[in-house]
Amino acid sequence: MKKGIFILSTFTLLSFSSLVQAKQNICVFDLLGKAGESYKFIEEWALASKNWGAEVNLLAYQDEAKVEKDFKAGVCDAFYMTSMRARAYNKFAGSIDALGGVPSNHIAQKAISYVLDKRNKKRLISTIGNEKYEVAGIGQIGTAYLFVRDKSINTIEKAKGKKFAILHYDQAQRIIVQRIGAEPVMADISNFVKKFNNGEVDMIAAPAYAFKPLEIYKGLGTTGTMINFPVVNVTADLIIRPDQFPEGFADQSRNWFVRQLPKSFAMVQRLEAGIPAKYKMNLSKEDHEKYQKLLRDGRIDLTKQGIYEQTMMTVLKKARCTVERTNFECSLSGE
């Protein structure tokens, strides 16, 4: 009898020990792998997460499709990748990246702070099938601008018939490119710049984060330009399976992300300032408003289709109109 109790106690202790020592695998996407700013950012988060009762193990990926595949297969207990792809797991957080919805770093910082606020906790938890997911953080990657191989493509009308590389899994990009009359060319985040640099496409949208490491300047050459118009704000979502983490972990994590925002936006501003002025071109006031109206119409349509989340669209409009009260859209309904 005593021997049986001893064996049972041993197994109980071993089980408890393995539970305590269990590590959570986090699949982290960064175009530059472990050398990238996003990966380094999550390394800092991983260090802080020890204080919240976790022992995370980071796995670096340069291919988002592989991140999602491994997450679905159970290789990862969480992932960190662009909101455009993560939107499928939480539409509320993923809608921050709505086309034209966040036209400045100032508004982006407000939007991310709002989403991660404790008042939105319920909106950050979603159930798909039998799986529960929770947004445990949102990181800023930066505003994506238009890059064209020929600076004469400086109006919406001149974009008609031009080839535009889009991320094949993002319906929003496909719809908006078709609206301007350009030809969408399917690509992935790992190869869309290559298509631009080798002349397969005439246009792309990319943040300053990609400019130097992916050598976008090669595609620009001496005839191309960066149109200084914010097409979309690019963020990354940290999404976890909450049952694999200690209680209250996501709350602590979100608070940490909010505290890092000033540092994240300083990084974005540094990268944007690093793009030589010779590559930048401003739109005329008339064309600037044309693009804004085009993106607004696209957002309204995409929200009706269920691609963007309505509450987030209302929040983003309020944020835009708080900063720029005289903008044409502030007197219009619809968002």
Closest to 95 in 3D by CA, of 265, 322, 307, 297:
307
Sign of dihedral through CA atoms 282, 283, 288, 292? negative
Residues ≥6 apart with Cβ < 8 Å to 211: 217, 271, 274, 275
Tell me the backbone φ, ψ of residue 280, rounded to 5 degrees.
Answer: -95, 140
Q: What is the pLDDT of residue 190?
A: 85
| CA dist., res. 261 & res. 259, Å (int) | 6
In this structure, what token pair is assigned to residue 291? 């693009």
Q: Residues 256-280, buried b or exposed e (16+ Cβ, 10 A)?
A: bbbebbeebbebbeebbeebeeebe
CATH level 3 topology of 2-140+234-273:
D-Maltodextrin-Binding Protein; domain 2 (3.40.190)
pLDDT tens, position by position, for the chain (335 residues)?
444 444 444 444 344 433 444 689 999 999 889 999 999 999 999 999 999 999 999 999 999 999 999 999 999 999 999 999 999 999 999 999 999 999 999 999 999 999 999 999 999 999 998 999 999 999 999 999 999 999 999 888 898 999 999 988 888 888 889 888 899 999 988 899 999 999 999 999 999 999 998 999 999 999 999 999 999 999 999 999 999 999 999 999 999 999 999 999 999 999 999 999 999 999 888 888 888 999 999 999 999 999 999 999 999 999 899 888 888 889 888 88
For the chain, what is the largest distance between any 2 Cα atoms, rounded to a whole number of angstroms? 88
Q: What is the pLDDT of residue 22?
A: 67
Number of C-alpha atoms within 13 angstroms, CB side, residue 112?
31
pLDDT digits (tens, 9 = 90+) for 39-87: 999 999 999 999 999 999 999 999 999 999 999 999 999 999 999 999 9
| CA dist., res. 109 & res. 257, Å (int) | 11
Q: What is the pLDDT of residue 11?
A: 43
Annotated domain spans of the chain: 2-140+234-273, 144-233+275-328
Which residues is 164 bridged to in the sheet? 184, 203
| CA dist., res. 257 & res. 154, Å (int) | 37
| CA dist., res. 316 & res. 321, Å (int) | 9
144-233+275-328 and 2-140+234-273 share a CATH fold: yes
First to last CA, the chain: 71
pLDDT digits (tens, 9 = 90+) for 242-282: 999 999 999 999 999 999 999 999 999 999 999 999 999 99
Alpha-carbon distances of 322 from 290, 310, 319, rounded to whole Å: 21, 19, 5
Alpha-carbon distances of 318 from 84, 93, 184, rounded to whole Å: 22, 17, 31
Beta carbons of 124 and 280 less than 8 angstroms apart: no
Strands 78-82 and 56-61: unpaired
Work out the number of other CB atoms within 10 angstroms of the CB of residue 247: 10
Which residues is 27 bridged to in the sheet? 59, 79
CATH superfamily of 144-233+275-328: Bacterial extracellular solute-binding protein, family 7 (3.40.190.170)
- In which region does residue 285 sit, left (phi positive, over 0), alpha (psi from -120 to 50) or beta (all else)? alpha
User: What burial class does residue 72 get, using C-beta atoms within 10 Å of its C-beta: 0-12 exposed, 13-18 middle, 19+ buried?
Assistant: exposed
Closest to 166 in 3D by CA, of 180, 152, 156:
180
Where do we find the tokens 């995409």?
Answer: 302
Q: What is the pLDDT of residue 333?
A: 84
